[in-house]
Chain A
Amino acid sequence: MSPSDRDQGRADAAGRASDPLAPATTPDDAVLLTARGIRKSFGDNEVLRSIDLEVRRGEVVVLIGPSGSGKTTVLRSLNGLETPDRGTLSFAGGPDLDFSTRVSKQGRVAMRDRSAMVFQQHNLFPHMTVLENVIEGPVRVQRVPRARAVAEAEALLERVGLAEKRDEYPFSLSGGQQQRVGIVRALALKPDLLLFDEPTSALDPELVGEVLKVIKELADEGWTMVVVTHELGFARQVADEVLFMDGGVVVERGAPKDIFTKPAEERTRRFLDRILRPFD
């Protein structure tokens, strides 16, 4: 995707700010994922109160908001790690999952297979080497021949600069390296959608950059992704659309330049002020 395409995408997103779920304006902006009316409670705590989300192919959607706002729960619902109480989810070419009825296991598995998750705490398998971590999914689940999975894993590791670490165990890597392996493990599954759950929040500050750089490169290559992050500068650079969440709802959504420079909602403004100007 060229930079001008990306600007075009931002212009579209800006146009959608008032009508967030306006249909795709260009036919090649095919919708990959549609979520409507997603609700989720943990006991009495209503974490999501009707979330709508649409992700187009090649688009980067960034979720921001205070902790407890429900961002991570949205992300986890997309990957089937949480089962919403209500709402529908569908991937292009897949079935509609309606969570107000009982969703079949096959339905959930089919949905989970469309995306791959990068966790805050990387969650690498400590008893496997870097290479084994990366090929576990392709070989064990997708039944890719081992030799091919290894070749692909090596190419991916090379890309993120970790080729020489292939036989190390995760504990011997730095936090940034571990997270890059986490990203490679997700890429190796060849998902339609990459999900990032605060991928840099657990890292030492000096290691954040190397991870964000990899994510930015993937975005530039046209990977479709949904990213939960507190790195607002990064969000601004990489996002096609930013969703600001608070209290289980999407308070505001739009192009990053609009959200970050002239937020329409008071709650968004207060949140940005707290983060960008904590000492004022």
Chain B
Amino acid sequence: MDASGWQLFLDSFWPIVWGGVSGTIPLALSSFALGLVIALGVALARLSKNRVLSGAARFYISVIRGTPLLVQLFVIFYGMPAIGIVLDPWPSAIIAFSLNVGGYAAEIIRAAILSVPKGQWEAGYTIGMGQATTLRRIILPQAARVSVPPLSNTFISLVKDTSLASLILVTELFRVSQQIAAFSQEFMLVYLEAALIYWLFCLVLSSGQGMLERRLDRYVAV
């Protein structure tokens, strides 16, 4: 890399990081939080004995997993105005990403709930708890431990997928990079730099996953 290239790298580093900190991270965090709430609801619906509920949950999961995220994003941002719903880029992105996380994480949460032995439900019932309390106090804490690795995967994918939001004009890490690249015409350098910064973000997230796993593993023999 020559001196001007190095200079461009340094000059664009913090703007791109800032795009991540002010765009990518809040977008990913809020979508993930909302997505988990949706996922828990969908997982419980899917596990319900009520056929309408579980059928609806199955349909939702099928649609989300069977269509591209980019198409989902475009339907919400560019398509919805046709039926009179006009949303700004940020809300559109958050809705699309959280619905998407909701579909994928629902299956993870469902499997995690099923992985808790039936005896744990029964023990909850015999100490007088109802179904909801047993779920909240006994089952979900144990399911959480099992679901941390796959949910971390989902989250890390989401962080990278938020780059798609640049296509509906959300200012985040990749859109900042595109602007710098277009202005400087140094596509290789700037996009590699963007890739590097995504990677750094994900390294931090992976170590966070490790810490969370160790914390949740404190009650199992390892």
Which of A's residues lie within 8 Å of B, judged by CB?
79-81, 109, 112-113, 116-117, 119, 121, 123-128, 136-137, 140-142, 169-172, 185-186, 189
- Assess the A141–B219 pair: CB atoms within 8 A: no
Assembled-state Cα–Cα distance A198/B157 (Å): 48
The answer to whether A126 and B142 touch (CB under 8 A), given A136-B137, A140-B133, A140-B137, is: yes
Residues of B within 8 Å of A79, CB to CB, are 126
Complex contacts, B48 vs chain A, CB 8 Å: none
The list of the 5 closest CB pairs from A to B, nearest first, reads: A137-B127, A141-B128, A123-B123, A123-B119, A117-B126
Q: Is the CB of A140 within 8 A of B129?
A: yes
Which B residues contact A (CB, under 8 angstroms)?
117, 119-120, 122-123, 125-130, 133, 137-138, 141-142, 145, 218-221
CA distance A170 to B128 in the complex (A): 21
Docked-complex contact B120 and A123, CB < 8 angstroms: yes
Task: Please tell me if the beta carbons of A119 and B133 are within 8 angstroms of each other in the complex.
Answer: no
CB-contact partner of B129 in A81, A141, A170, under 8 A: A141
Bound together, the chains give a CA A137 to CA B130 distance in angstroms of 11
> How many angstroms between the C-alpha atoms of A172 and B127 in the bound complex?
23
Q: Check A141–B127 contact: CB distance below 8 A.
A: yes
User: In angstroms, how far is the closest chain B Cβ from the Cβ of A73?
Assistant: 13
Cα(A171)–Cα(B221), bound, Å:
6
**Residues of B close to A136: CB separation below 8 A:** 127, 137
For the complex formed, measure the closest distance between the CB of A229 and the CB atoms of chain B, giving whole angstroms. 18
Indicate if the CB atoms of B221 and A123 lie closer than 8 Å. Answer: no
The answer on a CB contact under 8 Å between B119 and A112 is no
Contact between B220 and A116, CB atoms less than 8 A apart: no
| Contact (Cβ within 8 A) A123 B219 | no
- Asked if A126 contacts B220 (CB within 8 A), the reply is yes
Once A and B bind, how many residue pairs between them come within 8 Å at the CB atom? Answer: 61
- When C-beta atoms are compared, the residue in chain A nearest to B119 turns out to be A123
CB of B120 within 8 A of CB of A119, answer no
Q: How far is the CB of A217 from chain B (nearest CB, A)?
A: 22
Tell which of A80, A124, A125, A172 touches B221, judged by Cβ atoms closer than 8 Å.
A172
Question: How far, in Å, is B59 (CB) from chain A's closest CB?
Answer: 30
Contact B127 A169 (CB under 8 A): no
The answer to whether A126 and B137 have CB atoms under 8 Å apart is no
**A140 and B129 alpha carbons, distance in the complex (Å):** 8
Query: Smallest Cβ distance from B113 to chain A, in angstroms?
Result: 14
Chain A positions within 8 Å of B117 at CB level: 123
Q: Determine if B127 and A185 form an interchain contact, defined as CB atoms under 8 angstroms apart.
A: yes
- Pick the most buried of A125, A137, A172, A185: most chain B CB atoms within 10 A of its CB: A125
Residues of A within 8 A of B220 (CB): 126, 171
* Most chain B CB neighbours (cut-off 10 Å) among A80, A81, A121, A123: A123
The residue on A at minimum CB distance from B141 is A127
Question: In the complex the two chains form, is B127's CB within 8 Å of A119's CB?
Answer: no
Cβ contact within 8 Å between B126 and A126: no
| Contact among A81, A112, A127 for B219, CB-based, below 8 A | A127
Known contacts A123-B120, A169-B219; 9 additional CB pairs below 8 A are A80-B125, A112-B128, A119-B123, A123-B119, A125-B120, A171-B220, A172-B221, A189-B127, A189-B128
> With A and B bound together, what is the CA distance between A124 and B126 in angstroms?
12
Q: Are A127 and B126 in contact (CB under 8 A)?
A: no
| Shortest distance between the CB of A141 and any CB in chain B (Å) | 4
